[in-house]
A = this chain, B = another copy of it.
Amino acid sequence: VTARSTIYEVARRSGVSIATVSRVMHDGVGFSAATRERVLAAAADLGWVPSGPARGLASRRAGIVGVLFPDLGASGEAEEESPLYVDEVIRGAERAATAVGDAVLIAATRGASGRDLAYSVAGKVDGLVVMARSLAEHDIEAISRSVPIVVFANRPARRGHDCVGADNRGGVGAIVAHLVQEHGYTDLAFVGGPARSPDSVERFAGFRKALNTAGLPVLDSPDAEGGFTEVGGARAIRALLADRRPPHAIVCGNDEMAIGALAVLRTAKLRVPGEVAVTGFDDIASARHMRPPLTTVRQPMRDLGEEAVRVLLERVNDPDAARCSVVMPTQLVIRRSCGCRTRSAEGREWLAS
């Protein structure tokens, strides 16, 4: 690890000008085969790696896209962590970026310093994917004046920005429809996540709408709230059971709360799905290993991450194109916790391979 060598040294060692070195490294034309060899040899010899900053400065392209995500847990916000799916989204983003030779810069905005980090990151990238709740609307606005931004969330498109998200409403709607139509449940409860989470808000909206459509009564707010965590879900269910007799089905805002719900119901001697049905959202890995396997809704998180970066890169290449707003479909995953008897299927079919 000695001082980084520069293009000048490579040029000198191979007896050509820096322009030729640059050409060999990138253009692929404009030099003889012999020259090429000499340059490549000299480069390898020195262990030279072109300076990203210098390249970025000269070409006005960093070759980097950024992803900002929230890290709520660290900031002490009530037992809530950075959502699990963040990792999936990041992986997806990485794939889409890598596909075009770009790299992905990630940063969690936590606490007060998160804002500064966001600005710092903005300066280092060609474009930014901002996940819900990671940056104040005001800052998004400011930053987007110098760097293209794609908002990763679920609200209907914010004005002026591209945005991509999953169909939360439709997902919950499908679950409710299944619960009502297939199982004939009429008394459903909803356990929400953090009140300010767009995901949670959208899912509850979907719940309300579906119940309305089915002609069933609905509350104005979730029957209980559990902050999207297992402990939170457990607590919410305990509160729920203390309040009223068990509903036919408990629709949880995400899988983790549903898992917490299952544990509490078990200790309360309420059989699932016999006496109470339970559903989740997200389809995290644990979902199909639960007892009973959890009926839930799968979000294509990785695909969403890929799509977000694709949209971002398009905008980077064409700042004047029309804004776009992508809503990707979700998929109902029926297992046992809703009352269905899909034995053998889910969670075992793969054993056949």
Contact = CB atoms under 8 A, between A and B. Distances in A.
B4 A146 contact: yes
A119 interface: yes
A245 to B, nearest CB: 21
Interface in A209-244: 230-231, 234-235
A36 interface: no
Contact of A106 (B55, B104, B348, B351): B104
Interface residues of A, number: 76
A334 B46 CA distance: 52
A317 to B, nearest CB: 12
A260 B50 CA distance: 46
A1 B144 contact: yes
A120 B144 contact: no
Contacts of A263: 347-348, 351
Contacts of A95: 74, 108
Nearest to A74: B95
A122 B54 CA distance: 13
Nearest to A79: B353
Given A1-B144, A289-B290, 17 more contacts: A2-B146, A46-B146, A47-B142, A48-B146, A49-B122, A49-B143, A53-B62, A64-B105, A87-B87, A98-B108, A103-B105, A103-B121, A104-B107, A231-B351, A259-B289, A284-B285, A285-B285
